[in-house]
Chain A
Amino acid sequence: MSELFRAMVNVVSIVAIPLMLLVFLGWGIVKRVKVYEVFVEGAKDGFNVAIRIIPYLVAMLVAIGIFRASGAMDVFVLLLSPITNLIGMPAETLPMALMRPLSGSGSLGIMTELMSVHGPDSFIGVLASTMYGSTETTFYVLAVYFGAVNVKNTRHALPAGLVADVFGMLGAVLICRILFGI
């Protein structure tokens, strides 16, 4: 079942981009759009959008970089571990849950290390990889998406995003305990 699903999604994600290009541009020709001219007109904006993001991304990544390099994560793990122990979340996976919203490369590193230490098919290994797939790098997405439109007051986006992260992690723990429980 999961193998079939995996194969199907795999195929779709491989052909999706060529297909999208074909259909979108082909449909343009059918509708007598001057495809080349219109494409270039649209593409022109790419540079500006990317450059606009820079200050937002620098602010966000530098703060996250300082936090990571200082080892402050260990302090948070220490503070939060009594709570996570209560819900049956192994202490080893707590850094993973905390790092996931902050840094994509950081959480990838933690996941890889947990798997090499505990084995990919151990409970910790399965839980860590489920956590990795259960949410996105909230702070990065926030900086990039709002940076692109020069939005500085992000209002309730961050709290709601963090609620999503917390529930993503709790959901990962719950489903892994039910299916592969200890």
Chain B
Amino acid sequence: MLNYVWISLVVIGILVAAGTDFNADVKNRYRNDMIMEGVVSISKSPTTARATYEGTLVIDRSAFNALYGVQTSGEEIRLPVVIQSDLEIPRMTFSSTAEMPAIWKEFAKYASTKDKLTATVQSLVASEDGRTAKVRFVREPIRFVKFKAVTQAALDYAAIAVNIAIGLIGIMALWLGVMKVAEAAGLIRSLTRLLTPLTKRLFPDVPPDHPAVGAMIMNIAANMLGLSNAATPLGLKAMEELNKLNPKLGTATNAMCTFLVINTAGLVLLPATAIAVRAAAGSSNPGIIIGTSIFGASCATIAGLIAVKLLEKLKYYKKDLIIESGPEGGTKS
């Protein structure tokens, strides 16, 4: 199933991006090639040394709203601009600033130079005193916004994945070291014995005194306390121990799937992140969701466990466990 879900995420993503970009282009949703007007109050006029005007462009807000069909509020739009006048067609550059309307800021992200929008100046008529000038301009066309976003996301997330993994090295080492000591001291075994009645039912394929059981219990306990820094290393340790019992490497065992579902259901006694966000948003009772979250996560855990136990009986999933006999043995996946 993972194969299909994975490819669906990629294919649906790219198709939706293509569809959105095509639609935007056909309907000219980004209002490319439209002439806009504004008045520049010039702060620096061109000199012999440089051929640029600098100043503030003032655009009528209602005209802007009408053009893009948006509802931005406020007085006129004021944007710092630089006009390069020595080109055959003078060019005006806007930098992405706080005053820039949201829709243009979005455009700037996908412009030819990142965070800078440019426009070609059709006409520039300076006033008598040279302080202001009327400009008519056409903003650079914006195209393939979603395609560019998808490309950026693919590259960004590849880097994020590596960062997450690298960030795990330290805490991983810490907890694997601690667990090794606890194992050598026989502490894990005593802990395991305590919960045998429960773990025997959940993981019938795992010997009740196996180190995997101890690691799983510690992982679940750490998860419930919201200690994600400890829970992940302990969970990975548990997976390694479970893998020692795996007759067919590369394929998940029933115990692994059961353990994973307990983890993805994520039963937490204190949903600290959600409470913190509620408090930051000014809630009068940020902790009100503790009980409801425990209820929701319990539903998830119970439903997940039922599903995992039913699904493992299906022939479709059972056949993956069969070790193909042959010269290569059972290591093929």
List the interface of chain A (C-beta within 8 A of B): 2-3, 5-6, 9-10, 12-13, 16-17, 20-21, 23-25, 27-28, 30-31, 33, 35, 38-47, 49-51, 53-54, 57-72, 75, 101, 108, 111-112, 115-116, 119-121, 125-126, 129-138, 141-142, 144-146, 148-161, 163-172, 174-176, 179
List the interface of chain B (C-beta within 8 A of A): 1-2, 5-6, 9-10, 12-14, 16-17, 20, 146, 149-150, 152-154, 156-158, 160-162, 164-166, 168-174, 176-182, 184-187, 222, 225-227, 229-230, 232-233, 235-236, 239-240, 242-243, 246, 249-252, 256-257, 259-261, 263-266, 268-275, 277-278, 281-304, 307-308, 311-312, 314, 317, 320, 333
User: Of A67, A112, A132, which one neighbours B281 at CB under 8 angstroms?
Assistant: A112
Nearest 7 pairs of A and B residues by beta carbon:
A42-B180, A134-B296, A46-B173, A171-B299, A164-B304, A136-B266, A133-B293
Please judge, given known A-B contacts A25-B178, A38-B180, A160-B308, whether A30 and B260 are in contact too, CB under 8 Å. no
Could you tell me the distance in whole angstroms from the C-beta of B4 to the nearest C-beta in chain A?
10
Flag if A46 contacts B169 (CB, 8 Å): yes
Chain B residue numbers with a CB within 8 Å of A142 are: 2, 260, 264
- A contacts with B: majority SS: helix
Chain A residue numbers with a CB within 8 Å of B168 are: 46, 49-50, 53
Chain A residue numbers with a CB within 8 Å of B161 are: 54, 57-58, 60-62
Flag if B290 contacts A5 (CB, 8 Å): yes
Flag if B277 contacts A46 (CB, 8 Å): no
Flag if A155 contacts B251 (CB, 8 Å): yes
Could you tell me the distance in whole angstroms from the C-beta of A54 to the nearest C-beta in chain B?
5
Flag if B176 contacts A130 (CB, 8 Å): no
Chain A residue numbers with a CB within 8 Å of B300 are: 134-135, 164-165, 167-168, 171
Flag if A156 contacts B292 (CB, 8 Å): no
Could you tell me the distance in whole angstroms from the C-beta of B73 to the nearest C-beta in chain A?
17
